Structure 1
Amino acid sequence: MNEPRTYPGAPVTLPLRLDAEPKPVPGCAHCDNIAMEHDRAQANGDASRRRDCNVRLRRHLSADHR
């Protein structure tokens, strides 16, 4: 006898993202501020804030350092 399915289909396999963390542009005060916040978050074990800093830095880099 078949077991009842409790899901609509096969499981989804997501790729493991190993993107390198963004690098601040030397001499940019905004990059430096985000990088310092990132370093504090990493030192305190705050992975959520660290990822938030990465997102903010990527957005800043794409908007202001193209």
Structure 2
Amino acid sequence: MLVLMFEPSLDHCRYSFPVHFAKINSCIFLVLVSFWLFYGFEAAWRIFIFMVRFMQFESLVYVVFL
């Protein structure tokens, strides 16, 4: 997947994907901090792991359907 993102023939993917990914990363960070403040570190860590796994699936689908 990394080779696909940085291949020279896919310039539109290389420039649009990091912006989309950065927005989702900031969302994950805000969710992690809010759950950490309200529920404690262990619950926040479990939710973060779940979100990362979901993001990997979403990224794979995003790259496949380009």
Which TM-score band applies after superposition, normalised by the shorter structure? 0.3 to 0.5
TM-score (norm 1): 0.41
Question: Higher helix proportion, which one?
Answer: 2
